[in-house]
Structure 1
């Protein structure tokens, strides 16, 4: 495992996850609800920014690695899954939405792993609809974590709208990737 700046940023995102989750278990006397919401939002935003930044640095510094390519999406999925589970527990996201988004991530990760093993990873490379899905959920989740108005704008309402958009894009992107893999899947199932 090469230790370089991009991989260090990815590891930092993973280390932030238990801090992010644990904050909501602190007693109210130690940290009030709105402070927890604010700190959780900041942690999530920092994780999202470092996700973009570590990819940029890996390419700019020529520090890409197979391990980094594996670990980066794992860190992203863990942070998003942790946030969605917390939001369900806090009654800010419907469990069905969390199941759709997390289930898609597991399904497509498994599909990509299998396609890579059979030498067809290009068939399920990241598509534009997948990028839109990611953008929608990365904006929605901080809004739902913050859970308070900003300058009179109801963040929770807009976060809810965006998380439903993200769920719809999640299903669309999953359909897209499965459709792309279907010829190979049908060939393997027929054997």
Structure 2
């Protein structure tokens, strides 16, 4: 049987820990509303989002799914999303009520999962939750980029300019609707399972 250290210090868990370690750097970059720090913050957030998919894939592929990884991975996801949304609030890039809905949902569902697990009950994540995560990640990357970007360098025609803030807000609206929908869906599942 592998040692506790071996169960914790495997490649998927290291990727998850790197995602958490990236949060302070993300916050430092987002202290400034300027274009260049926002671009690097978006790049860092995108890289962290890739590791979110990669660590789960590697854990399953390598057959090293651990209790520590199952615990840490969703926490890392929530922390980096919370950090990004909270850091851009002072720049009025995102409505505060949307941030409250998204973060509130995450805390409520995490609490319900904790209650269910103490009863030995596992309520699996639905596809709604997966779609919510995808739309959130795309939305946040757009909101971090924020400014106008040209599809083709050197071409300044209005048809090849995209405002990344508008792109981010479009996806954030979808993410918020799915956040509420998936939260209600999970709450219904929780009540039904606990009632049994």
TM-score of the superposed pair, with normalisation by structure 2: 0.87
Q: Distance in 2 between matches of 1:181 and 1:62?
A: 29
> Quick check: 2:129–2:182 contact (8 Å CA) kept in 1?
yes
Of 152, 163, 171, 1:162 maps to 171
Q: Distance in 2 between matches of 1:113 and 1:159?
A: 32
- Structure 1: which 5+ runs fail to align? 27-31
Q: CA RMSD in A?
A: 1.5
Q: Alpha-carbon deviations, 1:129-169, whole Å to 9, x = none?
A: 11111111111000000012232122111211111111111
Structure 2 counterpart SS, 1:63: coil
Partner of 1:56: 57
- The CA deviation at 1:53 is 0.4
- The CA deviation at 1:23 is 1.9
Number of matched pairs: 180
Partner of 1:23: 29
Partner of 2:156: none
Q: Distance in 2 between matches of 1:78 and 1:156?
A: 22
Q: Distance in 2 between matches of 1:59 and 1:90?
A: 40
- The CA deviation at 1:86 is 1.3
Q: Distance in 2 between matches of 1:186 and 1:59?
A: 32
- Structure 2: which 5+ runs fail to align? 152-160
Q: Distance in 1 between matches of 2:170 and 2:112?
A: 29
> Quick check: 2:30–2:88 contact (8 Å CA) kept in 1?
no
Q: Distance in 2 between matches of 1:182 and 1:4?
A: 36
Q: Distance in 1 between matches of 2:174 and 2:195?
A: 30
Partner of 1:112: 113
State whether structure 2 residue 42 is matched by structure 1 residue 33. no
**Range that drifts further, 6-15 or 83-92:** 83-92
> Quick check: 2:88–2:94 contact (8 Å CA) kept in 1?
yes
Q: Distance in 2 between matches of 1:182 and 1:40?
A: 39
1:142-161 → structure 2 map (5 Å cutoff):
142-150=141-149, 151=151, 152-161=161-170
State whether structure 2 residue 82 is matched by structure 1 residue 81. yes
> Quick check: 2:139–2:168 contact (8 Å CA) kept in 1?
yes
